[in-house]
Structure 1
Amino acid sequence: MELSETGGRAGKVKRCSVPGLPWDRFSAWLECVCVVTFDLELGQAIELVYPRDVRLTEKEKTSICYLSFPDSYSGCLGDTQFSFRIRQTAGHKLSLNGDEEKYNRDAPVVLQLDRAHYYGFVYFRQVKDCTVKRGYFQKVRIPSKKDKLGTSPLKQSNQENLLPAPMVIPTINELDLFGCFQSILIHIQMLWELMLLGEPVIVMATSPKISSDTVLALTSCIAPLRYCCDYRPYFTIHDTEFKEYTTRTQAPPNVILGVTNPFFIKTFQHWPHIIRLGDVRMSGDLPKQIKVKKLMKLRTLDTKPGIYTSYKTFLHKDKTLIKRLLKGIQRKRLPEVQSVIVRRHLLELTQSFIIPLERYVASLMPLQRTITAWKNPPQIRPFIKDEFMKTLEYAGPQLTSVQKGDWVGLYRRFFKSPNFDGWFRMRYQEMCKKLEILHLEVLCEADLLMWVREKSEVEIVDLVLKLREKLIKARVHQLPVREDLLEKLELYLETVINSLPDDLQVVLHQH
C-alpha cells in the first residue's frame, strides 16, 4: 500500500493507494479511508476521504469525527487502536449488490455483510508537537460493511510521514478472547447467557481499545449463532443515538454499549447489567477476578470494577474450564492457546444449545417426495415452541454437553430474545429457498410438452410466465441448480412458446 502526499492544518498526511489492487475489489472490504484531525477552530474535522467520490451523509461524517477520538486524551499518548459501529443513514446503501449477496450466501453467518451499519476501525495517534497548542493529533479510520476487520497499525518515520506496516488485518475470530476476559474468567458462563439472550449490557472501560475489544469479544461468544441485537463497541455522548439509549421512560433496548466517559456511571445506573472493567491487576500469579455486585450497590462515585447485575444463570459454572485456564496462567501457557481453549468451550456450548433447535427445524421441512411439478411447493410447518420443548427429553443438549442446569428455562427465555427471531428468520428463509430449488429441479425434469397438450392458452401462458420468473430468480440469486437443468427448462419454454399463436408469441417474447 502506498500513500501520496497532501497537505492539512495539522501537518502533512499521506493518501492511500493500493498498487495492483483495483479499488472496486478493495472496497468489497473497505468502504473508504478517512483522515480526521483536530482543528483549533472547527474541532474534530474530516480532512480527507478516499476515494473522493464516496458519499457520506453529514450525520455519518459527524459520527465519524466524534467517534474517531477517545473521550479523554489523557492516557492516550502514542498510538491507540479501537473500533466503533454506527447506523447508516436511512435509505442510504441498505441493499446489497449481486456479488455481495453471493458473498453473504457463502460466508459464515458471523462474517456476513451488514446492510444497515458502518464499522469504523480507528488508528489514533497523539504525539507532542511544540508548534501546536493542543498537541498533534492524527488518525486513520476505515469504514466497512463488515464488522470482522481489525485495524492495521501504521509505523511512523517522523511526524509528517505515515507508512502502513506490512500486516494482515485480523478478523473478529482472531480476537484475543482470553485477554479480553482475563479479569472476568470466572463469570464466562454468565456472559455467554447474557449474549445468548440479547440482554442490555453496558461495558465501562478505561480506554476505547478495552471497550471495543470487550464488546466485540462478547458478541462473538455465541458463534456460530449470529448476535442479532445492536452493539456499539465504542459509544460517546455525541452519538446520534445517545438520547434513544439513555432515556428512562422505557426499558433499556437490546444493545451492548462500550463506554469510557465517567459521565455514563450515573446515566446508565438503571441498566440491568453493567460490566465495569479496570486495569488487569494480579493477585499473586493470577489476574484478580472482579466480583458480581447487586445493582443497588452501584453508586455515582463508585469506581471499583465489578459486574453489577441481579441475573441468575440457568446453567452451572464449568469449574473444570476455569481451573484449566487459571492453571494455564500459572504455567505461563501462551495467550493464543488460552484463547483457543476459551473459544472452543464457547463454541461447543453454543453448538450443544443450537443442535436441538436445528434438528427440530429440519423436521418442519416438507418431505421431498411431496414436491410435484404441477403444484405449488408444500408449506413449511410452523415452529411450535411447546412441541419443541417436548423433544428436549430425548434429543436435548444433554446428548452433546456435560453442562448441568436449567436448559429448559434457558430455551424459554431464549424464545423471547431477538437472537431467536433472527436465527429462525434466517433458517426459514433458507428452507424457503431450498424448497424453491427442489421445486425448480422437479420442473426441469418434468415433461412440459406432454402437460401443455390438453391445456388452454390461458393456462399455458400462466405457466410460461411463472417458469420464466423462476428462471430469472435462479440466475439473479445464483441458486445452486445444475446449469444443464436450467438450460433444459429454457429449451422447453421456448418450444412451448413457439407452439402458441403468433400474437401470443410476440407478447411473450416482448416480456
Structure 2
Amino acid sequence: MTEGQNDVNNTELLDENVWEGFSKWLHCICVVTFDLELGQALEIKYPKHVELTDQEISNICYSAFPDSNSGCMGDTQFVIRLPCKSKRELRSEHINYNNNCPPALRIDEGYIWGYVYFRQVRDINLPRGYFQKSVVVLSYLPFNNLFNKICSYVAPEYFEHGMKCLEAICHNIERWPPPNPGVNIGLPILGHVFQTCIPINSVRGKDSAENKLLTQVEQLNFFEVFKPVLSHIHLLWELVITSEPIIVMASSPANCSKMVLALTRLISPLQFCGDYRPYFTIHDSEFKQYKQYSSKEQFPRFPPPVILGVTNPFFAKTFHNWPHTIILNDDVGQNSKYKLRKPALTKMIEVSSGIYSSYKPFLQKDKNIIKKLMTGVSSNRPDEAQSALLRKHLNELTHSFMYPLERYIASLMPLKKDISAFKAPPIPSPFNPENFFTTLDTGGPQLTLKNTNIKGDWIGLYRKFFRSRNFNSWYNSRYRELSQKLQALHTEALSNADLKNWVQDRPEVEVVDMILRIKNKIGECDSHIQVNDTVKQQLNQRMQDVVTSLPDDLKNILKVS
C-alpha cells in the first residue's frame, strides 16, 4: 500500500470517528434535485463518507418526490421506508436501545427510514420554471414525529442558506447524547432545542411518553387519519393483526404515508412484522416483485404481508386484484364516510373512495366506541381527545387478544425443580393450539375486555393469526426469552452445585466434560445468558472446585489452572 493510499484510508477512518455521535441518530442527510437529463438525482449526501449502494440511491431519489400526477405545490412532508440490500450491524447503543424501547419503535437493520421535505415553487430563472428539491433525513430510528419536526425546521434553513447551513446542522447532531429510552433528552440544532423523551417498553417500566411538554418521537393523529373509515376500524384491526396485504391509494404521499403508519400502529403494543412502505413508487426496486401478485397468471397466489402506500393511478389498474385496498380522496380527515366495497367493483377504483375487500370479519363491531367518537364529533371534542379514546380502545382490544397467549406461553416453562446442574438445561414445551383453545373458556379475550364484550369467532381469528407473520415473530421472540430464562436458571443451579463432593471417584472423562461445560457457561454469561456478577463469580469457583482434582498434565492440556 502506498503512502497516498494510507493517507486516504486514515482520512476515511478519521471521518467515521468524527461522526460517531451523528451515526447514533442519523445515517446521513440527502438533498435530491430534478436534473433535466437524469430526472430525480442525488445532489448532496452528508456526511460524505457514508456509503449508499446504487440501488439505495435510486430508491431514495425516486421516493423523495411526490408522483408527477399529484401536483403538490409548495412544501410537502411525508415518510418513506426503504429496504437495505445488505444489513448493517447494529451499534452497541442501538442494541441497548432495542432492548428497552417499545416493539413498534425498534430498529430493523434491514430497513432505513427517510423523512422527506419536498419543495416545489415557481421560479422563472430555472430551465423548467420550477424549483424542485427534497431534503431527506435518513435514519434507522422510526421517529416519525420528531424527525418530521426537525426536518420542517432544517430544510427551509438549508433552502435559504445552502451547504454551510447543512454542515452546521450535522455538526450539531454529532454532539447529541445517544438515544436512551426513558430519559429526557435535549437536542440542540441551529440555536433551537428539541426536548424529547423516547418511551420505554411498558413491560419494563412506566411509559414516560405521556409528558405533553416534550416532542414525542412518534405521534399520529389517529382520529384524523381513521375518521373516514371509522365504522370499519375493527375490520382494519383484524386485517393488520393477521398480516393481510393492504394497499393504500391517495392523491399525495403525505396522506398515504400517514395512513400506512397508522395502520401498522393499530395493533400496538404488538409489533406489526410484515413489510410496510409508507410511500411506494413504480420505480422502486421491489415493484416488479409485488406486481406479479396481481397478474392473471399468478392470482390467486396470495401476496406477502405488506402494506403499501401509493399515489400513482397506474397502481389502480396494475394492482386491481389486490385483496384489500383503501382509496383515500382529498377529503381525508373531513366528514366523509367511506363504504366497504367488493373487489369486483374496482374498475372504478381510481375515482371511488372506500375500502375494497371481500374479507369477512371474525368479530362483531364494538358499536359503543364508534358511537362515543361520533358523539365527540358533534360536540366538537378535540382531535387529541378523540385520538386518545380510539387508541385506548384499540390498545385494550390488542391486550385482551394477546393476554391469553402470554398466559399460555408462560405455562410452557418447565418447573424450576426440574432444572438440575448435572443434566442438560430443559427446553420449553411446544406450543399446541388445541391446548391453548381449552384455556379460553375461563380466560379468553371476551372475558378480559374492559367495558365491552365483543362477540364473535375468537377461535377462528386465533387460527388465522397463528398462520401470520405477526404470530411467528411474537412466538419466536417469546420462545427465545423462555429459553434464555431457562439457560439463566440452569447457570444459577450449576453455580450453586456442590461439585467438590460430586467430583469424588468420578471418571476423568466426566470431570473433563464438566469443566468444558462450565467454561462454556462462563463464556455465554459474557454474551447472551443474563446473570448477575455473583453467579459469574460462583461459576469460576465451581471451576476451581473441579480443576483441583485433575493431574497437572491434564490441566495444561485443558489450559486451566
Task: Output the TM-score relative to the length of structure 1.
Answer: 0.89
What does residue 176 of structure 2 align with? none
Separation in structure 1 between the aligned mates of residue 345 and residue 418 of structure 2, nearest angstrom: 61
Matches within 5 A, 1:355-374: 355-374=403-422
Matches within 5 A, 1:304-319: 304-319=352-367
Partner amino acid for 2:160? E
Quote how far apart the aligned CAs of 1:154 are: 2.3
1:122 and 1:381, CA in 2 relative to 1: closer, same or farther beyond 3 A?
same
What does residue 48 of structure 2 align with? 52
What does residue 5 of structure 1 align with? none
Partner amino acid for 1:145? Y
1:29 and 1:456, CA in 2 relative to 1: closer, same or farther beyond 3 A?
farther
Matches within 5 A, 1:185-264: 185-247=230-292, 248=295, 249=298, 250-264=301-315
What does residue 322 of structure 1 align with? 370
Quote how far apart the aligned CAs of 1:447 are: 2.3
What does residue 532 of structure 2 align with? 482
Alignment partner of 1:107 out of 101, 119, 122: 101
Separation in structure 1 between the aligned mates of residue 426 and residue 36 of structure 2, nearest angstrom: 66
Partner amino acid for 1:363? S
Separation in structure 2 between the aligned mates of residue 159 and residue 360 of structure 1, nearest angstrom: 56
Separation in structure 1 between the aligned mates of residue 93 and residue 502 of structure 2, nearest angstrom: 37
2:484 alignment partner, SS class: helix
Separation in structure 1 between the aligned mates of residue 103 and residue 557 of structure 2, nearest angstrom: 43
Partner amino acid for 2:131? Y
What does residue 393 of structure 1 align with? 441
Q: Does 1:140 align with 2:135?
A: yes
For residues 338-370 of structure 1, what are the alpha-carbon distances to aligned partners after superposition, in whole Å with 9 as ceiling and x for unaligned? 111111111000000000111111111101111
Whether the 8 Å contact between 1:266 and 1:300 is mirrored in structure 2 is no
Q: Does 1:463 align with 2:514?
A: yes
What does residue 76 of structure 1 align with? 72
Whether the 8 Å contact between 1:149 and 1:172 is mirrored in structure 2 is yes
Structure 1: 5+ residue stretches without partners: 1-20
Quote how far apart the aligned CAs of 1:506 are: 3.1
What does residue 9 of structure 1 align with? none
Matches within 5 A, 1:489-504: 489-494=539-544, 496-497=546-547, 499-504=549-554
For residues 129-183 of structure 1, what are the alpha-carbon distances to aligned partners after superposition, in whole Å with 9 as ceiling and x for unaligned? 2221232122221222233444221263694326766546766742111111111
What does residue 206 of structure 2 align with? none
1:121 and 1:171, CA in 2 relative to 1: closer, same or farther beyond 3 A?
farther
1:193 and 1:370, CA in 2 relative to 1: closer, same or farther beyond 3 A?
same
1:83 alignment partner, SS class: strand
What does residue 211 of structure 2 align with? none
Alignment partner of 2:427 out of 353, 356, 379: 379
Quote how far apart the aligned CAs of 1:261 are: 0.5
For residues 444-471 of structure 1, what are the alpha-carbon distances to aligned partners after superposition, in whole Å with 9 as ceiling and x for unaligned? 2222333223333332232222222222
1:40 and 1:114, CA in 2 relative to 1: closer, same or farther beyond 3 A?
same
What does residue 16 of structure 1 align with? none
What does residue 203 of structure 2 align with? none
For residues 56-84 of structure 1, what are the alpha-carbon distances to aligned partners after superposition, in whole Å with 9 as ceiling and x for unaligned? 11111111111111112754222211111
For residues 94-146 of structure 1, what are the alpha-carbon distances to aligned partners after superposition, in whole Å with 9 as ceiling and x for unaligned? x4344433332222222222131112211212232222123212222122223
Alignment partner of 1:427 out of 458, 475, 478: 478
Alignment partner of 1:96 out of 86, 90, 98: 90
Partner amino acid for 1:137? Q
Whether the 8 Å contact between 1:173 and 1:220 is mirrored in structure 2 is no
Quote how far apart the aligned CAs of 1:302 are: 4.0
What does residue 182 of structure 2 align with? none
Which deviates more, 232-241 or 405-414?
405-414
Separation in structure 2 between the aligned mates of residue 183 and residue 121 of structure 1, nearest angstrom: 26
Quote how far apart the aligned CAs of 1:216 are: 0.7
1:326 and 1:418, CA in 2 relative to 1: closer, same or farther beyond 3 A?
same
1:476 alignment partner, SS class: coil
Q: Does 1:160 align with 2:150?
A: no
Q: Does 1:116 align with 2:147?
A: no
1:48 and 1:182, CA in 2 relative to 1: closer, same or farther beyond 3 A?
same
Alignment partner of 2:503 out of 452, 459, 470: 452
Structure 2: 5+ residue stretches without partners: 1-16, 166-189, 197-214
Whether the 8 Å contact between 2:121 and 2:132 is mirrored in structure 1 is yes
Alignment partner of 1:350 out of 395, 398, 417: 398
Whether the 8 Å contact between 1:172 and 1:216 is mirrored in structure 2 is no
1:281 and 1:350, CA in 2 relative to 1: closer, same or farther beyond 3 A?
closer
What does residue 508 of structure 1 align with? 558
1:423 and 1:266, CA in 2 relative to 1: closer, same or farther beyond 3 A?
same
Separation in structure 2 between the aligned mates of residue 396 and residue 336 of structure 1, nearest angstrom: 31
1:488 and 1:373, CA in 2 relative to 1: closer, same or farther beyond 3 A?
same
Matches within 5 A, 1:20-39: 23-39=19-35
Partner amino acid for 1:154? Y
Separation in structure 2 between the aligned mates of residue 30 and residue 457 of structure 1, nearest angstrom: 56
Alignment partner of 1:291 out of 339, 345, 349: 339
Partner amino acid for 1:201? I
Separation in structure 1 between the aligned mates of residue 484 and residue 57 of structure 2, nearest angstrom: 38
Q: Does 1:62 align with 2:58?
A: yes
Task: Output the TM-score relative to the length of structure 2.
Answer: 0.81
Quote how far apart the aligned CAs of 1:480 are: 3.5
The CA RMSD over aligned residues, in Å, is 2.4
For residues 369-420 of structure 1, what are the alpha-carbon distances to aligned partners after superposition, in whole Å with 9 as ceiling and x for unaligned? 1111111122211111111112111221122122122212111111111111
Separation in structure 1 between the aligned mates of residue 349 and residue 487 of structure 2, nearest angstrom: 59
Partner amino acid for 1:198? S
Quote how far apart the aligned CAs of 1:504 are: 3.1
Quote how far apart the aligned CAs of 1:281 are: 6.4
Quote how far apart the aligned CAs of 1:206 are: 1.3
Quote how far apart the aligned CAs of 1:184 are: 0.9
Separation in structure 1 between the aligned mates of residue 443 and residue 472 of structure 2, nearest angstrom: 22
Partner amino acid for 1:372? S
Whether the 8 Å contact between 1:79 and 1:124 is mirrored in structure 2 is yes
1:300 and 1:495, CA in 2 relative to 1: closer, same or farther beyond 3 A?
same
What does residue 269 of structure 1 align with? 320
1:293 and 1:184, CA in 2 relative to 1: closer, same or farther beyond 3 A?
same
Quote how far apart the aligned CAs of 1:498 are: 5.2
What does residue 11 of structure 2 align with? none
1:127 and 1:472, CA in 2 relative to 1: closer, same or farther beyond 3 A?
farther
Whether the 8 Å contact between 1:85 and 1:120 is mirrored in structure 2 is yes
Which deviates more, 421-430 or 483-492?
483-492
Whether the 8 Å contact between 1:31 and 1:145 is mirrored in structure 2 is yes
Which deviates more, 305-314 or 96-105?
96-105
Separation in structure 1 between the aligned mates of residue 560 and residue 329 of structure 2, nearest angstrom: 69
1:168 and 1:161, CA in 2 relative to 1: closer, same or farther beyond 3 A?
farther
